[in-house]
Amino acid sequence: MKKTLIITLLLPILLFSGLAFSGNPADSKISHSEWNALLNKFVNTDGMVDYSGLIKEKTKIQAYLEMLGQNMPDDSWTNNEKLTYWINAYNAFTVDLITRNYSLKSIMDIEKAWDIKFIQIGGKTYSLNEIEHEIIRKEFNEPRIHFALVCAAVSCPPLLNEAYKPEKLESQLQDQTVKFINNPDKNNIRENSAKVSQIFNWFKDDFTKEGTLQEYLNKYSKTKLDSNAKIEFMDYSWELNDQR
């Protein structure tokens, strides 16, 4: 009788302790599987997006965004986990912004799209600009993020049709950078001259912290630029990266 009573009294305590010490899933790695599935289904290999299809999956998108909002990175996360989180968050909230304003021809049709405070994370409200410039660019010394973050435009780096993952982040960033720089629709590089994306103009400081722009491009370009090669910047198309 006494043993039964003791077990009965201890059971809730043990259960509570198990919950208390199991830890928040964000303490290790949150799951980006829902976002990964949506990207697999609605983004093609060229980075073009089926926004009409994504609109029909609104509940899944919102569930993923809410999960992000409730699991903001903290000091227990690794650097790769943090950067993966913020890249996926930026891209997912950008896609969400487009789907909530669809149908449109360009993200530029949304007034001050990057300054709208609509992103709920960790009890605070952010804009896309704040995530990119005040968090990602400020906290991570990683120029390759400019080929991972998307702005929903044709001239942007293509949206990867899979989620970024901590264990694959290095290879994913490397692949995206190499593909973008060597894509003739985005950049035209010759030995003596180059016409490159406006991204290299807008964020030149990020690319030239350790050398010249020519040197940075040569890390990834199949065609190597001369050190004194002339560099010009191409016009930027803000046409929506829509599959329609």
Quick: pLDDT tens for 202-211: 999 999 999 9
Cα-based angle 181, 173, 71 (whole degrees, multiple of 5): 140
d(Cα 75, Cα 84) in Å, to the nearest integer? 15
CA 136 to centroid of chain Cα atoms: 10
- The strand pair at 230-233 and 193-196 is best described as parallel
Alpha helices in 116-184 (DSSP H): 128-129, 137-139, 169-181
pLDDT of residue 100: 96
Q: Is 239 helix (H, G, I), strand (E, B) or coil?
A: strand
What tens digit of pLDDT does each residue of 165-188 get?
A: 999 999 999 999 999 999 999 999
pTM for this structure?
Answer: 0.88
